[in-house]
Amino acid sequence: MIWATGAQLHNALSWGRDSYQITEWLINYAGGFVRRGLPGTLIGMVSNATGIQANHLAIISGLVCYLLLVVWLLLRATPIFPAVLILSCVAMGIPAYQDSIVRKDCLGLLFLLGCLAVDRGRLPGPLRLLILNLLVGTAILCHESFVFHAVAGFLLLGSRDQASMAGMNFPRRMLALLPAGICFLLTVIHHGSPEQAAAINDSWMPLWRTIEPGNPALATPDAAIEALGWTSEQGLSLSLYMLTTGWYQPTAWAMVFGITFVLVVLFTDRSSDREGQAAMQSRIQVTALLLAQLLFISPLFLLGVDYGRWLFLWVVSSMMLHTFGRRAPARVETWVARAFTIARVPELIARVPARDWYLLCFGVPVCWNLHDFLVASPLSRHFEIIRSWL
């Protein structure tokens, strides 16, 4: 994982206009208000003030967000989720091996962490609502996917603490976050256009010339900046094309998600001092959370085909929600417990206990061909490295 992270950051120094990782951070308001434009505007201001290249600031920002999330999970989530699971390709290993540490995914999860911490705190009600709206609104202005992987679970999943927002009825919760909802509405209305993409690309032209001098295509928007001009119909047609042009890709990704699900449940609360009913109850709660979060993020599967990113957001957000005591509806947990009994899950786990080496053999592919699926795991990656050296 350390090798994969270091190699990715070294390679990122040469990423430019055609990199989704870099350009996602550099979307700004040069062409007017547009979704995802807040980070790029702030990076541009810092770059102008310090003289540091904007792409380097994007790399630093992505790395800092990633490390903060890793540290928090290792400090707070390990009583239930083993460190080996957190650092594997089931969770924090996904952006390391998928070359997506520089993306905004970890930033959105940190905003979710902030919301959960504020909600569980003991701040006065009005101040808490003000901070929550600032956090949610800012997160949405960074990337609108926050609504699906964070806001939905934050609003709909219960908590043991009845003083938190989760203790309110649903209409009151929705009303409390109305200002943040307006931010989301703005991103839906001003989702972007080809003209705005061209203006944003032009604003970074000096940077593109520094990274790729002499490239004749620099004047044409590319990657995440160019994608601002896409309509929801284009995103939906791309997803439907992938799902309806053969059995291989849908089946392969369904297996990746299924194996991820099984590994998370298998490794949950495997410590020897909590075996038996207590550990199984934790697995039931985590399973119910995973199912709820999968439902909440499901629109992302139709609007985009970055399935590895959706997988990462799904698993890590579920871990965070469970760590903060959030629960799926009681009827979902009851249904899961009944399914566990029918499928004899406790007996299966006793026969196939969680072994660390399982996680060395599983990975999430960067692309979708058969070779990428076969070499996605950490073990296969190391074999590929050794082969390239021989």
Report if residue 296 sits inside a domain: yes
For residue 202, what pLDDT band results from cuts at 50, 70 and 90?
A: very high
Report if residue 140 sits inside a domain: no
Number of domains comprising the chain? 1
Entry pTM? 0.94
Report if residue 104 sits inside a domain: no
Report if residue 90 sits inside a domain: no
In terms of Cα–Cα distance, which of 311, 341, 316 is closest to 113?
A: 316
Residue 208 has pLDDT above 60, yes or no: yes
For residue 34, what pLDDT band results from cuts at 50, 70 and 90?
A: very high
Question: Greater confidence, 3 or 138?
Answer: 138
Report if residue 29 sits inside a domain: no
* Domain range enclosing 318: 231-354
- Four-point Cα dihedral 234, 240, 246, 249, nearest 10: 90
Give per-residue pLDDT as tens, 314-353: 999 999 999 999 999 999 999 999 999 999 999 999 899 9
Residue 46 has pLDDT above 90, yes or no: yes
Report if residue 204 sits inside a domain: no
Mean pLDDT of the chain: 91
In terms of Cα–Cα distance, which of 80, 125, 78, 104 is closest to 22?
A: 104
Question: Greater confidence, 233 or 274?
Answer: 233
Instruction: Please list, in sequence order, all residues whose beta carbon lies within 8 angstroms of the beta carbon of residue 47, skipping any fewer than 6 positions away.
Output: 53, 54, 57
Token pair recorded at residue 155? 């609003």
Report if residue 261 sits inside a domain: yes
Distance CA(109)–CA(39), nearest Å, equals 15
Report if residue 129 sits inside a domain: no
* pLDDT at residue 267 in the model: 96
